[in-house]
Structure 1
Amino acid sequence: MPLAIIALTIATFGIGTSEFVIMGLLPEVAHDLGVSIPKTGMLVSVYAMGVVIGAPLLAIATARVPRKSTLLGLIVLFIIGNILCALAETYNLLMAARIIAALCHGTFFGLASVVATDLVQPNRRARAIALVFMGVTLANVLGVPLGTAIGQAFGWRAAFWGVSAIGIVAIIAVIAWLPSNIPMKKISPKLEFKTLMQKKVQTALLLSVLTNTSLFTVFTYIAPLLREVTRVSEHGVTIVLLILGVGLSIGSVLGGRLGDKNLVGSMTRLIAILIGILLALHYTIGFYLPAVLTLFIWSIVAFALCPMLQLLVVDQARDAPNLASTFNQSAFNLGNALGAWLGGTLLAFGLHLQQLPLAAMAVMIVALVTMLRLRMHFRRVAIVQPIS
């Protein structure tokens, strides 16, 4: 893969760490700011909503700006947001800082995905997107466990200072490795919006919302789930997060390969498998080794879907992919917000933490029905891609 894609991966590593590190530090942030854990979980939701709002606005605002300049500007915005997170003294200020940090997220991932597919051969597009998303999985392997450990040892603010430093490294890599003459298709905003409104594109976006809602119904509350149900120690949570991060990395690579071979068929099977895994998690979460094994398999399968979902949207919006690709990041993060909200709401109404996998399973069943309907549509119109 070109070094240019590696530069994009470094940036997505920083962005992914910024988004997810808060999950491992929910108890610390809640204690320091004097709020409940469910309320602290809303810091995940507000970040996701910042992505939902920022992605389309910044995508439109930067549509005619050279791609390299756009990507660099987005990284600068990311650094500013995380510095503000580190400096925030109250819950409301941290909430506002999280929104600022999130504004760059959707546009960066959307544009980076399109740029990555332009830099490789057509039969390696899913793997190129998977490498961009590998930054997120590496964030969970290295960034989140390390950030959690740093936050527990030196205070949660130290984690955000570290994330800001990653942003500086990303700027250097993008300047050095990303070519300045990246081709830009001259596509009118009207065509971009027309493409976005197509039913097949909207269905693909809905799939991203549903799968991420399911994922984050559990993932947002992984630290309290492990501490209170599985009875894992504070140090043990960091170890489990590291194990899950390895699973996410495996899943991202697996998703890239499966997506290049058989996109729709692979997605259908993985969604069905996730339903079974979430049901199993409900029964295994109270026992350490079975819980960790189930979570590990869940992390592999869940993140294998991510590059596939992105490629599905890019494929269905092939005439004008830029806005649709960016909107898919809004869809991902709308799912993040809905998952965090759903989990927090259910907990607030008295649902036990152990029941969260069942709620996630219910959402994934809706995703499977949606996927099957989309698959039937592809068969009817004879889309040129293997379906099995």
Structure 2
Amino acid sequence: MEQTKKPLPGAVLLLAALGFVLGTCEFVIVGILPEIAEGLNTSLAAVGKLVSVFAACYAVGTPVITAATGGISRRKLLAVLMGVFLLTSAASFAAPNVAVLYATRVVAALVSGTLTAVAMLYAKEVAAPEQTARAISLVYGGFSVAAVLGVPLGTAVCQILGWRWTFAVILAMGAALLPLLLRSLPAVPAQADSGLLKSFSILWDPRCSLCVGMILCSASATYIVYTYLSPILTETLGLPAGAVSPLLLVMGACSAASNLLSGRLGERGGLRTLPMAFAAQTVLFALLPLLLGNRWAGLAGVFAMGLLMYLLNTPAQMHALSLAEQDYPFASSLCASVQPVSYNFGIAIGSFIGSAVQEGWGFRPWACRRQCSPWRHWG
């Protein structure tokens, strides 16, 4: 009992801060899409694909780069990856056109995924065995805080100073964190290859592939809307630009609550709760086009989407980990990455579809229907 109350090492808090910086880098783009499109004189749909490109490169590149860098000591690898991350943030700040920005986001995605994997390994390394679960949970919590605070902060900086300064803030946070990480983290030697290719055999097991499919579908549906949340708030719902940052803060709080609810579902119901969660998401996304025809109903629908967006993750991840423990002990590390990789594949698919909707029809027709409908006086 005494051990469970023992505080976590300071290095774990620094790893959580790293999660916050990486999460802010990934998620903040959603809040500043219109400003980037205007600043680089390109279409909103073209800039929106930055989200899907990042997610696709993150999902595909993470396992490959992690395997390729297995022979490098962990501390040295973290230093090199952070150096590349800082250079990429500086290049994003100075990007003269959208092509350069695409290139910097590709590199940022490849580096961020591998840095996340290194952070998870370090969390297990620096914490006592009885603290491992708390340590890993805290690192994941850094990403949740990025959704709650990092995105609105980046959006506010964008609206005050311009979109380039959002990347400058990310650069400054990373530069301040790097020496603290290098001072606090131990020099763990490189480990022998654990047989990554063999680990992929678990993905052919329907019990695992079904979980992958569920997370992927949930993320895809969510990010069709979430990618274009800022223009939906201002153009479709007719809210002022100044309201975007506080509303993104509320949306971040909803997504953080979704993480907490997901944990409760994992503890109490496991996989039995997933059909109900899927049903709730299906009903919401079927009604969302109608809800967006009314400002307040649309806001309620968007916040409900935030409450549901992470609901499936913990039960599905717990199932995958228990599957590895029982039948695939050699694939435990791969199973630990099932949720983030699957979710990022879903983000890539959903944001690509969202870009097609934005480019082909836009989200304005909902607003137009609201204005043209004989029932508009009810909104």
* TM-score, normalisation: structure 1: 0.80
Give the structure 2 partner of residue 345 of structure 1.
356
Instruction: Choose 203-212 or 146-155, whichever is displaced more.
Output: 203-212
Distance 1:190 1:290, change over 3 A: closer
Q: Distance in 2 between matches of 1:31 and 1:249?
A: 31
CA deviations 1:281-308 (Å, max 9, x no partner) are 3333233333333322321221243444
Rg larger for: 2
Q: CA shift at 1:188, angstroms?
A: 2.4
CA deviations 1:259-318 (Å, max 9, x no partner) are 244432344432322223333433332333333333223212212434444444444344
Give the structure 2 partner of residue 235 of structure 1.
242
Q: CA shift at 1:114, angstroms?
A: 5.7
Q: Does 1:333 align with 2:344?
A: yes
Give the structure 2 partner of residue 368 of structure 1.
none
Give the structure 2 partner of residue 259 of structure 1.
266
Q: Distance in 2 between matches of 1:122 and 1:265?
A: 28
Q: CA shift at 1:216, angstroms?
A: 0.7
What fraction of aligned residue pairs are identical, expressed as a percent? Answer: 27
The aligned amino acid for 1:337 is A
The aligned amino acid for 2:349 is L
| SS at 1:303 equivalent | coil
Q: Distance in 2 between matches of 1:83 and 1:348?
A: 29
Give the structure 1 partner of residue 66 of structure 2.
59
The number of residues matched between the two structures is 355
Give the structure 2 partner of residue 207 of structure 1.
214
In structure 2, runs of 5+ residues without a counterpart are 1-6, 368-379
Selected match of 2:299 from 289, 292, 299: 292
CA contact (8 A) 1:120 1:128 kept: no
Q: CA shift at 1:197, angstroms?
A: 4.2
Superposed CA RMSD: 3.0
Distance 1:277 1:103, change over 3 A: same
Q: Does 1:94 align with 2:94?
A: no
The aligned amino acid for 1:343 is G
Give the structure 2 partner of residue 149 of structure 1.
156
CA deviations 1:124-172 (Å, max 9, x no partner) are 84x6554333222211221111111111211111000111122234434
Q: CA shift at 1:27, angstroms?
A: 1.2
Q: Does 1:49 align with 2:56?
A: yes
The aligned amino acid for 2:149 is L
Give the structure 2 partner of residue 366 of structure 1.
none
CA deviations 1:154-205 (Å, max 9, x no partner) are 1111000111122234434533554555997973234323344444333332
Selected match of 2:8 from 2, 24, 38: 2
Q: Distance in 2 between matches of 1:191 and 1:277?
A: 39
Distance 1:217 1:312, change over 3 A: farther
Distance 1:190 1:245, change over 3 A: closer
The aligned amino acid for 2:340 is Q
In structure 1, runs of 5+ residues without a counterpart are 357-388
CA contact (8 A) 2:236 2:366 kept: no
Q: CA shift at 1:98, angstroms?
A: 0.7
CA contact (8 A) 2:95 2:101 kept: yes
| SS at 1:34 equivalent | coil
CA deviations 1:48-78 (Å, max 9, x no partner) are 1221332122111123444454444433332
Give the structure 1 partner of residue 91 of structure 2.
84
* TM-score, normalisation: structure 2: 0.82
